[in-house]
Structure 1
Amino acid sequence: MSYCLNPHCSHPENTNDVKFCQTCGTKLLLKERYRAIKPIGQGGFGRTFLAVDEDKPSKPPCVIKQFYPQAQGTNTVQKAVELFNQEAIQLDELGQHPQIPSLLAYCNQDDRQYLVQEFIDGLNLYQELQQNGAFNETQIRQLLNDLLPVLHFCHEKQVIHRDIKPENIIRRQSDRKLVIVDFGAAKSATGTALNKTGTSIGSPEYVAPEQMRGKALFASDIYSLGATCINLLTVRSPFDSYDTHNATWIWQQYLKTPVSKELSLIIDKMVESVPSHRYKTVDQVLKDLNYQQSSVPPTLITPLTSQATVVIKTSTQIEKELQEMKTQFTGAKVPPQNVNSQSQSTSNDPIDKELEEMKAKFLGNG
């Protein structure tokens, strides 16, 4: 079947052997090459079609995105135009990565904008969750190890995705690799863009607080990926796993299968509300995720505060302090040579006995 790309066509379905829509006369092939088969998605700013590349003998599947804003207002439409153009630019560069769809074409036809990208055959993680139920720790660790390098690649290219969520992560059927899709909300972080307030974009359940204020950071993608993990582990909206009254995450209460303390700490640090408390780079997350030498990864160990001190006392120091305590209680002065003397261990003085017990506890012998 051929599907007419004219959004106003009353009967868009056509047979494969025609080049123009039999209802409205619109050209059916985009760039004389890409033929839409059926619509697979629609939003406020456009439509998405499953298509085939007629220029190749195998006629491989692809995806046509049509810019078709239905929102009202000049500013809104203008912003939509910018985002659509931006997605094409981002895909042109980021599509070099095997886990990001490649851009096949970007064009105008019949006064409408289009981009054509690689088709990723597989279920997205939202669909997978509905089909198979909650993820376990092993699956989440595999997910993080698979996706964090992809985010690292994006961030190295100075691109913040800004819309990481289960629906935008597809498990490719051919190799079971996870692919990040939908770069329509992606933002360049070059120059002064990081410090400039922009538009709040993304799915609210998964968006970091600073991104809601229009100031997305690389760490904002880390937050969104952490919120995605919470959703996959609990089968609940991240909104429902956060206690707004106490400003704390409570997702562990809704786990379908238990997770280790280490993974729990990692996810908690990924979704810290304050960016300075959150992982700043994906490399830091990967380091903790794959740290094997300790029960707690080094970046998760809370450093000592300026008020805290660690005091290590020798046996002689402890004995001196205990003797000083005895002096304060009895008023008697103990000659220096009696310190650490053998007579203390055989003394019948009740105070001496208590001091000996305290000494044993301090030195770990009690």
Structure 2
Amino acid sequence: MDLYCTRPGCPRPVNAFADLDHQVTLKAVPQKYCTTCGMELILIGRYLPLRLLGQGGFGAAFLARDRYTPAMRQCVVKQFLPSGQLSPAQLVVAQQLFEREAEVLEQLGNTHPLIPDLFAFFELTASSPQAGKQDKFFYLVQEYIDGETMEEELVQKGTLSTDDVVAMLKEMLNVLTFVHENGSIHRDIKPSNIMRHRNGRFYLLDFGAVKQAAKGTATAKSTGIYSLGFAPPEQMSGGEVYPSSDLYALAITCLMLLTGKQPNDLFDSYSNTWKWRNDAPSVPDSLADVFDRMLLQTPSQRFQSAADVLVALKAASGTVRSQPSKRTPLPTPQPTPTPPTTLPQPVSPPQALQPTHKKATPQVAVQAAKPVRQRAAIAPFSTVELLGAAAFTGFEGGLLAIALLSLSGTVLIGAGFWVVLLAGLVFLQSRRIIERLDLLIVVGLTLPIILFLPPLHRAVALLGGSVLTTVIAIAVVTGLSAIAVTAFFRIIFNLLSNWL
């Protein structure tokens, strides 16, 4: 089984452990460590990260398994680690967004079937690659939704049928009714935050930007967190947001799916109106009227609740006809809308955090931090890597011994140089300066040089035999001896570790 290191900037995050392919070991092993940076891989001894799903300015999301469940349930582990360029105030806002998502998932997700459940929220302290320091990481674990976002479907199909869009719209209106009635406003509705499960149901994702509000009233002023192209005017200006603000963004999402065009291509800035009907001629006028009302510039003129839209859709249902889905791909598909922006200062936002299925989380606008290449002072080795390193050290040590004994005048001088070179090889491997393919390259360079040493030819001639055969035979014997000695001490170490 491969485990993925969650330390940001780890140069080799994929770790292969053959022993974890056995269920007994997988359930019982207390911990595994990254062979490159030494980071704990089994989070709080329970969650096994398998691969990276996405990352952005606030951290990363990983597909994982919960080994404390009978079927090793799949889940999504989201890690909070904002850019190092955040100011103290921005860092506070960023962490509040992360904690807010956990709170909302616990409150709403564990109650509504179409919002991901929260499984865990925890802090992990790990040894830092810098000696004497420790790093703190924050994680939330949520339900894994097996499907595709509407953004991904749009890229594949070009456009969606009217029936598909109406089905999605109705499902989302029911979810928003629940969200709004529980005193929350999502504030980041868009195709990448709506997912169609393989069973056909639609899920609403990404609750990091949720704003708490008193029922039936507006929220306090917006913090300026929104996604360009989908946010209504009141949200973009940093004003109050309403349930109708979510309806505005949901309508734009529908138009994007029906027309295959980005929001900025459907908005006429000259007249300050949405002009999309010519791009979706198959949409009945009664349904188009519903969308147009959801898109009015003034919040009070839109539908005031998701339930009101459902009533309007029911009245329009007689004229909504089934339309075939167009399969032509978009000429220039753009999977991700323009990232979230923060007012009032126009700075470059980081790439959105991609949790369970490449979805974007609204965030404070700040330049994303570049990954930092880090190394631990001592990186643990798996058993396979340890024995492989021993084989190389023994083989290469044999070659070096032959060369030094052939060139040096005395055994003592040759042995001294041999010990120094061998210690250097071990040190370089322990620091992972040379590993894997590097080991073969070193052997490939050393062997031809040794074969052309004149003293070696004279010595082998006295014994009788082939130079190549003799050299390789000696190196193989030393390599096997190194493996045997290493395996012996590894067994002793494991026995003592279990006993102590």
Q: Please state if 1:90 is matched with 2:91.
A: no
One-letter amino acid of the structure 2 residue matched with residue 282 of structure 1? A
Q: Is the 8 A contact 2:160 2:257 kept in 1?
A: yes
The whole-number CA distance in structure 1 between the counterparts of 2:219 and 2:226 is 18
Verify: 1:58 aligned to 2:82, yes or no. no
Maintained 8 Å contact 2:284/2:319? no
Determine whether 1:35 maps to 2:48: yes
Report if the CA contact (8 A) 2:211-2:219 is conserved: no
Aligned to 1:189: 213
Q: Which one of 32, 43, 51 corresponds to residue 19 of structure 1?
A: 32
Q: CA deviation at 1:99?
A: 0.5
CA-to-aligned-CA distance 1:111-162 (integer Å, 9 cap, x gap) = 1111000000101001101112212222221111111100111111111111
Give 1:216 shift: 1.6
Amino acid at match of 1:197: K
2:259 aligned with 1:234, yes or no?
A: yes
103, 108, 115: which one pairs with 2:123?
A: 108
1:68-91 C-alpha deviation (Å, 9 max, x unpaired): 101421111111011001000000
The equivalent of 1:167 in structure 2 is: 192
- Unmatched 5+ stretches in structure 2: 21-30, 126-135, 321-500
CA offset digits 1:282-336 (Å, max 9, x no partner): 011000101169879xxxxxxxxxxxxxxxxxxxxxxxxxxxxxxxxxxxxxxxx
**Could you say if the C-alpha distance between residues 29 and 291 of structure 1 is closer, same or farther in structure 2, counting changes exceeding 3 Å?**
same
Equivalent-residue separation in structure 2 for 1:261 and 1:245 (angstroms): 24
The change in CA–CA distance for 1:127 and 1:292 in structure 2 (over 3 A counts) is closer
| Partner SS for 2:203 | strand
Q: CA distance change for structure 1 residues 293 and 228 in 2, over 3 Å: closer, same or farther?
A: closer
Q: 1:112 to 1:234 in 2, by over 3 A?
A: same
The match for 1:331 is none
Q: Give the structure, 1 or 2, with the largest relative contact order (CA under 8 Å, sep 6 or more).
A: 2
TM norm structure 2: 0.57
Q: Who is 1:75 aligned against? A: 89
Residue from 166, 177, 180 that aligns with 1:141:
166
Instruction: Give the counterpart letter for 2:93 in structure 1.
Output: K
C-alpha distance 21-295 of structure 1, shift in aligned 2 (>3 A): closer
Provide the residue aligned with 2:181 in structure 1: 156
Structure 1, unpaired ranges of 5+: 297-366
Using the aligned pairs only, state the percent identity: 39
Structure 2 distance, partners of 1:195, 1:189, is 5
Amino acid in the other structure paired with 1:25: G
Q: Match of 1:182, SS?
A: coil
Residue pair 1:136, 1:259 contacting (<8 A) in 2 also: no
Q: Verify: 1:287 aligned to 2:311, yes or no.
A: yes
Query: Quick one: distance in 2 between partners of 1:294 and 1:135?
Result: 20
1:8 corresponds to which residue? 9
For 2:38, what is the secondary structure of its paired residue? coil
1:37–1:293 distance in 2 versus 1, CA, 3 Å: closer
Q: Distance in 1 between matches of 2:33 and 2:261?
A: 47
* Counterpart for residue 61 of structure 2: 48
- Contact 1:211–1:217 at 8 Å: present in 2 too? no
Aligned to 2:247: 222
* Residue identity opposite 1:68 in structure 2: L
Cα RMSD (Å) of the superposition? 1.9
Counterpart AA for 2:181: E
Q: Residues 270 and 108 of structure 1: is their aligned pair in 2 closer, same or farther, counting only changes over 3 Å? A: same
1:183 CA displacement: 0.7
Q: Could you tell me which amino acid in structure 2 is paired with residue 91 of structure 1?
A: L
Partner amino acid for 2:57? G
Q: Secondary structure at the match of 1:194?
A: coil
CA distance, structure 1, for counterparts of residue 317 and residue 231 of structure 2:
33
Whole-angstrom distance in 2 between the partners of 1:217 and 1:187: 10
State the aligned residue count: 294
Q: Given that residues 197 and 213 in structure 1 are in contact (C-alpha distance below 8 angstroms), is that contact kept between their aligned partners in structure 2?
A: no
